[in-house]
Amino acid sequence: MRPVIALVEDLLFASRIREAARAAGVDVRTVRGAEDVAAAVRDGAPLVLVDADGDRLPWRDAIAATRPGPGRPAVPVVAFVSHVHADRARAAQAAGASRVLARSAFVQELPRLLAAAAAPPSEESTP
């Protein structure tokens, strides 16, 4: 199985994602740019997780890089933001995120999201 891709600026959340992935038996690869996300999607990444709160990583471009196109299949993208950043939540949705969650909801949903990404296609549910 290909790794789940995480574009995450916040080191605490990167650690939480790695910990949850380890518990779920899923590999996670942290990336820093939209090109890395696009390449991972072409390679068959089952899920992309995007921290849409930060300003140092190109999260808008990374989400846009997951849109289906030549050589790029559709892949679920879950973006997470602080509940006070409604503007970033709207921007992540507009960029093409499948789901946008508040950080607290993301933490609660993370084990289920990772389990769905690891499930065989016939058992897979949409993140």
In a domain, 111, yes or no: yes
Mean of the pLDDT values across residues 40-64? 93
Domain count across the chain = 1
Prediction pTM value: 0.90
* In-domain check, residue 13: yes
Domain membership flag for residue 35: yes
- Residues 92-126: tens digit of each pLDDT: 999 999 999 999 999 999 999 999 998 876 544 45
User: Using CA of residue 29, residue 38, residue 9, residue 83, what is the dihedral sign?
Assistant: negative
Q: Which of 89, 85, 81 is nearest to 105 (CA)?
A: 81
Q: What is the domain extent for residue 19?
A: 4-118
What per-residue confidence (pLDDT) applies to 121?
63
| Residue 119: per-residue pLDDT | 84
Q: 74 falls in which pLDDT band (50, 70, 90)?
A: confident
pLDDT for 73? 73
86 CB-near residues (< 8 Å, 6+ apart): none
Lowest mean pLDDT among 47-51, 70-74, 77-81: 70-74
- Residue 123 belongs to some domain of the structure: no
User: Is residue 127 situated within a structural domain?
Assistant: no
Residue 57: is it exposed, middle or buried by C-beta count within 10 angstroms (0-12/13-18/19+)?
buried
Tell me phi and psi for residue 46, to 5 degrees.
-80, -15
Distance, CA of 42 to CA of 80 (rounded, Å): 23
Strand partners, 49: 6, 78
Q: Name residue 79's beta-bridge partners.
A: 50, 100
More reliable by pLDDT, 5 or 125: 5
Confirm whether 126 is domain-assigned: no
Residue 22 lies in a domain: yes
C-alpha 13/C-alpha 51 separation (Å) is: 9
Q: Is residue 30 in a domain?
A: yes
Task: Check which CATH number belongs to the domain holding 72 and give it.
Answer: 3.40.50.2300
pLDDT at 127 > cutoff 70: no
The backbone torsions φ and ψ at residue 35, rounded to the nearest 5 degrees and listed phi first, read: -65, -40
